[in-house]
Amino acid sequence: MGRAPAIAAALLATVGAGGCTGELPARGEVILVVDTDLPVPQLASALRLDLYSIDESEGLRWYESRTIALPDPRDWPVSFSIYNPPDRQERSALVRLRVYPRGRERDYHGERFLPPPPEDLPPDQPYRPPEAGQPLRLMDRGRDVTPPTEPSPNLTVDRLFRLRLVEGEVGRARIELQGACVGTMADLEGRRSCVSQEKMLEPMEELGAEPASGFVAASQQGSFAPRSGCSRPARPPTEMPGTGPYHDDEVCVPGGAFIFGNVEAFGIDKASGVPERVAVLPSFFIDRYEVTVRRMRRAFAEGFVSPDGSPYPNPGSFNTQLGPESPSYCTYTPTPGPREDYPVNCVSYETARAFCDFYGGDLPTEAQWEYVAQAAGRGAETPYPWGHQEPRCDQVVYARVSAGLAAFTGGNQCVQVSVGPAPVTEIGAEPGDVSLGLGVFALGGSLQEHMRDDFLPLDTVFWAAAPIWSPECQYEDPTSHSARGGTWAAPSSLVYPGLRVESQLGVGMLIASSTSLGFRCVWPDAL
C-alpha cells in the first residue's frame, strides 16, 4: 500500500471512520470436479456442460453450452468453476453434464426426451425418439447460437443437478458420471436424471459449495466393467490320428464394455446397426474356427442327434455352373470325403444350437459375436476383425460365385481364387481373416453364422429396455433369428461385421439352399 493511502487510512481512523477495508467478499464459486468410471477414451472422451436458468414466468432458459475433448485418461478428473456474478447475492441454475465418446452425436432438433420404455409395451414395437422435441434454443444477447448437434443419448451418461451459489461461499463439489447410467437420458422438463442405477431416473439434487478438503481423489475412470481375463485355460485343439484335426480349439475372450451397433450400418431397413448402445460382457470362450464337417461327423459318432436331419448331405462336388443357392455347395458329405476341413453349412438354427448344447455350450449372442469381431483384444474398436483395411480377395473368403444372379451383382469379384466355400485351413494373405489380438478365424467371410438371438431391429422396445450387461434378444413367438458375418457368396459391401442379418430359414429345401450359413459355439467362463 502506498504512502498516500496509508495516511488517508490513518486519518480515517482519527475521525472515527474505521471499519472500511480494501477487500470485498468472494464471489460465490464452486469448483466442480467431474469424474467418470467409464473407460477413457473407448466410451468417454468428451464432456459437455449446459447451464439453464429457471424463471417462474419464462420457465427454463438455456444460456451456456461448452464441450471439451478429454481423450487421455490422465485428463480425469476434470475441474472448472462456476461463479455467481456480484450483481446478486444468491443465484441458482440447472447444470447438465454429459460424458460420451467423441464423435457420437446426433442432430439437435429440440429436447427429445425418450424415457426407458414401460414394461407393458410389445417388444417388437418401434421405440424411437420424437422427430422434434421441446424447442429449447441457446440464446446469446439475442443471437441464436444453439449447437447443431448433441451427444447421442444411447452412448451418454446424462446428469442433471441444481447448483446454488451465495456470495462469499467458495468450495468444491464432486460429480461422478457413472457408467451404470449410460443410455439413460436426463428428463430436463421433469428435472430428473440417472445417478447410479441403470434406467432409474431420480429427482435432481441440489449442490452447493463444500469447503475444499485439500484432498483430490484419484480418477475412477476404467473401473466400470474392467477388462477381465478367463478363469481357466482355453481348450486346445484335438486331432484323430489318421483323420486330421477337428479345429475345435477355443479362445478366451476377456470381458469388457464396448459400443454395440454400428453407425456405418445405418439405414439398411430393419437390419440397420443403429441406434448404437453400450454393452458389457463377462469373459467367455469362443470357437477359434467355424464348426467343420469332421467335427460335425464326430458329434454324430458320439451320439448327437440332429433335430431336423440337417446338415443337408451332398455326396457330389461343387457345381460351378450353378448359382450359390444350389445344394451342390453344401459341404457335409454322407461319408468322410475331401471336405472334412470345410465349415459345415446347410445346417438349421435348431441343429446348430443343439450341437453347441451337446458339448455344454451355446450359439453366441449378437453382442458376443460383434464384441469378438470388432472390439475384443484391441485398444479401440475396428470395423473389421483384422483392422481397418478393406477386404481383399487373397485375404478373405468372399465373392466366389461364378454363376447365377450373384455373379452379376458383385459376387464374382474373387472367383480367380476359387469358387464356392473354402476350407477353414485357408488362412489367406496378411493380415488374413483373423481377429486382432485373439486370433479368431473367419469372422469376416467364409460363412454367415447363426446367432442365439431372435431378430428384432435395434430401435424396438426390446432393445431400448435391454440391460447394459449381456444383452440378448429372446422373446415369445419369434419369427426369425439373427445371423452375422460375410459369406463366400457375398460381394465386398456385405463383408462387414456390423451388418445385422435376419434369418428366416426353416427345414427341408430351404436348409439345402442355406449354403452360406454355418456356426460356431461359445462357452461361459464359470468363475
Partner 1 sequence: MRAPTTGPSLVIGGMVLSAALGLATGARAQPSPAPPPDPSALADPAPESPPLETPSVDPVERARELFAEGIDHVRNSEWGEALADFQASSALRAHAVTTYNMGASYRAMGRYTRARQQFLDALQRHAQTQELPPHLLEETRRFLSEIDAVLARVPLSISPASAGVTVDGAPLQTQRAGDVTQLVAGVRSAGEGEPIPDGKGTLLLDPGSHVILVSAEGYQHTVVNRTVAPGSNPQLTLKLQPKPSQLRVRASTSPAQVFLNGDFLGIAPLEILRPAGTYELKVVADEREPFTSLVQLESGKAHLVRADLTEESPSVLESWWFWTAAGVVVTGAVIGTYFATRPEPTRPPLDGGGLGWVVPLQ
Stretch that binds partner 1, among 13-21, 109-117, 130-138, 222-230 (CB under 8 A): 13-21
Kind and range of the H or E run holding 374: helix 366-374
Would strands 481-484 and 284-287 be described as parallel, antiparallel, or unpaired? unpaired
Stretch that binds partner 1, among 46-54, 242-250, 443-451, 475-483 (CB under 8 A): 46-54
CB-CB contact of 476 with 456 (8 Å)? no
Position 210 contacts partner 1 (CB under 8 A):
no
Taking the complex as a whole, how short is the minimal distance between the CB of residue 201 and partner 1, in angstroms? 25
Nearest distance in Å: CB 28, partner 1: 8
User: Please, how many CA atoms are within 13 Å of residue 134, restricted to the half-sphere of its CB?
Assistant: 13
Residue 269 interacts with partner 1 (CB under 8 A)? no
- Whole-number minimum distance, CB 220 to partner 1, in Å? 16
Cβ atoms 228, 254 nearer than 8 A: yes
Residue 20: CB minimum distance to partner 1, A: 8
| Cβ at position 424, least distance to partner 1 in Å | 25
User: Is 267 a residue that touches partner 1 (CB under 8 A)?
Assistant: yes
300 part of the interface to partner 1, by CB under 8 A: no
Per the structure block, which three cell numbers stand in for 175? 460429480
Nearer to partner 1, 95 or 367 (CB): 95
CB of 6 to partner 1, least distance (A): 9
> Of 410 and 478, which has the nearer Cβ to partner 1?
410
DSSP-assigned letter for residue 426: -
Binder of partner 1 out of 266, 389, 394, 467 (CB under 8 A): 266
Positions in 77-106 near partner 1 (CB under 8 A): 78-86, 91-93
Q: Which stretch binds partner 1 (CB under 8 A): 49-57, 108-116, 235-243, 424-432?
A: 49-57
- 392 binding partner 1? (CB under 8 A): no
Taking residues 130 to 169 in sequence order and writing x for each that binds partner 1 by CB under 8 A, - otherwise, the string is ----------xx---------------------x-x----
CA-nearest of 488, 483, 292 to 396 is 488
Contact 12, 193 (CB under 8 A): no
Between the alpha carbon of residue 524 and those of residues 91, 176, 179, 229, 289, the distances in Å are: 54, 32, 24, 12, 17
Cβ contact 168:28 at 8 Å: yes
- In sequence order, the 6+-apart residues with CB closer than 8 A to the CB of 241 are none
Residue 60 interacting with partner 1 (CB under 8 A):
no
User: Do the beta carbons of residue 67 and residue 48 sit within 8 Å?
Assistant: yes
Among candidate residues 251, 277, 165, 283, the one with its CA nearest the CA of residue 520: 251
Q: Would you say 527 and 255 are in contact if contact means Cβ atoms under 8 Å apart?
A: no
Is residue 51 within the footprint of partner 1 (CB under 8 A)?
A: yes
Cis amide leading into 77 (omega within 30): yes
- What is the sign, positive or negative, of the torsion defined by CA atoms of 43, 49, 55, 58? negative
Looking up cell 464432486 gives 174
Phi and psi at 225, nearest 5°, equal: 50, 60
Pick one of 410, 431, 437, 478: the residue that binds partner 1 (CB under 8 A): 410
Nearer CB in complex with partner 1: 323/343: 323
Region binding partner 1 by CB under 8 A among candidate stretches 228-236, 278-286, 362-370, 398-406 = 398-406
In the complex, the residues that contact partner 1 under the rule CB under 8 A are 1-5, 7-8, 11-12, 14-15, 17, 20-27, 29, 31-33, 49, 51, 53, 61, 63-64, 66, 68, 78-86, 91-93, 140-141, 163, 165, 170, 264, 266-268, 402-403, 405, 407-410, 412-413, 415-416, 419, 491, 493
